[in-house]
Amino acid sequence: MQYNQCKPNNPQDIEDLNLRESWLDQIIWGNPALTTTKANKPVSLFFPHWIDSNLIQIRDLRFSGGRLDVRFLLTKLSNTSDFIREAYAVNLALKNVKPIIKDHEPDANRATTTLPNCNPCIIGSKKFYEHIVKKKIERPISERKWREIMQHDVLDFKEIYNKKVGTIKEKKLAEFNFKVLHMILSCNYNLTKWGLANNDQCDACDQKQDIAHLLYSCTLSRTVWNFVDQIMDTNLLLSDIICAVNLNPVQTEIITIISFMLYKQWLIFRAAGISRNINNCIRFLTAELYTRVKLYEHTNNITLQEPLKNLLNNTHIMYAV
């Protein structure tokens, strides 16, 4: 065999190969794309003893010349009492798939497909349908990018979304966190990428202003976070600001509020054509803290009022940080 003889060069061949592999990966049971008919209605397949015999994905079956190999099935199934009806139903469900697959030999050494943690004999096909839907869900690209930026491989984004969005009662702050986590918050980098700005430079330090820079690594942001570290006795990292990795619920909300203030100042000053500096940053932060403290005092929210009031009473320290 010559080198690369089996490698498809035609784009159509590559597309056909990808389609074939996609079908081979499909789970047979509870799959709305693989149905037979009952009372003129489409019905998903569900044969528990086929599952017990490790016939779970289409790639677990043998095909020859575009036909399902029924003799192979007889050697695999632990129960063949209703084999003719079941094989007919599977054949019918695969009628549009068999011409695409054509020939396929199951890999005897392949690991068994991971299924929902339950007994297939006492659950319905709905459980397998839910499993298929779950398998098709693709995680947001932003999760991978945040892991790379933070150099933090172990980030439980389900827990992060709950801490940063689900448990934040103020919708404006929850929406802000959602945009941060999904990397769709306005900043000069995103605005340039979206064709809404001419350059991605930060107005305060001339560095590329992405979300991480705006909320954490900018010289103004660093001044604010150093001040917060000093007053709240913390050591905040980017992973804490963005994902609340080492924060309790109260700290998470306080850090969200401060982050939102940094973003709000940039947004207002950008619209007004004013460059930010340490003086107007501290004045803006002081005014925002004062408003928040009065708000939480009025609503009797002592949990947030006290730490924000402590920050407000010490903002003068930022001039020396």
Residues 200, 128 within the same domain = no
Question: Is 2 within a domain?
Answer: no
Of the pLDDT bands very low, low, confident and very high (cuts 50, 70, 90), residue 147 is very high
Secondary structure (3-state) at 178: helix
Please give the structure tokens belonging to residue 72.
């192979």
Asked if residue 274 and residue 192 are part of one domain, the reply reads: yes
Q: 161 lies in a domain? A: yes
Whether 61 and 78 have beta carbons less than 8 Å apart is answered as no
From 121, 136, 151, the end of a domain falls on: 136
Q: So what's the pLDDT on residue 205?
A: 92
- If pLDDT is split at 50, 70 and 90, which confidence band does 100 have? confident
pLDDT of residue 109: 72
Q: Which amino acid is at 187?
A: C
Same domain, 73 and 175: no
Q: How far apart are CA 214 and CA 205, in angstroms?
A: 10
159 and 76 within one domain: no
Residue where one domain finishes, among candidates 136, 165, 200: 136
**Which residues in 228-243 are b (16+ Cβ under 10 Å) and which e?**
beebbebebebbbbbb
Q: Indicate if the pLDDT at residue 130 is higher than 60.
A: yes
In a domain? residue 68: yes
- Residue 54 has what pLDDT? 86
For residues 172 and 314, state if they share a domain: yes
Whether the pLDDT of residue 293 is over 80: the answer is yes
Q: Residue 307: what pLDDT? A: 96
**Is 198 in the same domain as 112?**
no
Q: Is residue 88 part of a domain?
A: yes
Q: Are residues 93 and 190 in the same domain?
A: no
Same domain? For 108 and 198 the reply is no
Percent of the chain having pLDDT more than 90? 55
Higher pLDDT, 29 or 230: 230
pTM of the model: 0.61
Question: What is the reported pLDDT for 5?
Answer: 36
Q: Are residues 145 and 112 in the same domain?
A: no
Of 15-29, 106-120, 266-280, which has the strongest mean pLDDT? 266-280
Closest listed residue to residue 262, CA positions, set 316, 185, 170 = 185
CA atoms within 13 Å, Cβ hemisphere of 101: 26
**Considering the domain boundaries, does residue 6 fall inside one?**
no
- Chain centroid to Cα 214, Å, comes to 22
75 and 114 fall within a common domain: yes
DSSP string, 12-65: HHHHHHHHHHHHHTSBSTT-TTSEEEETTEEEE---HHHHHTT--BGGGS-EET
Over residues 128-136, the mean pLDDT reads 62
pLDDT for the residue 107: 82
Domain boundaries, position 209: 141-319
Beta strands at 41-44 and 35-38: parallel, antiparallel or unpaired = antiparallel
Task: Tell me the pairing of strands 67-68 and 41-44.
Answer: unpaired
pLDDT tens for each residue of 32-67: 888 888 888 888 888 888 888 889 889 999 998 888
Pair 76, 156 in one domain: no
Same domain, 229 and 153: yes
Q: Is the pLDDT of residue 281 over 90?
A: yes
Task: Specify the pLDDT at position 222.
Answer: 96
Number of domains the chain contains: 2
Q: Of 114, 136, 158, which marks where a domain is finished?
A: 136
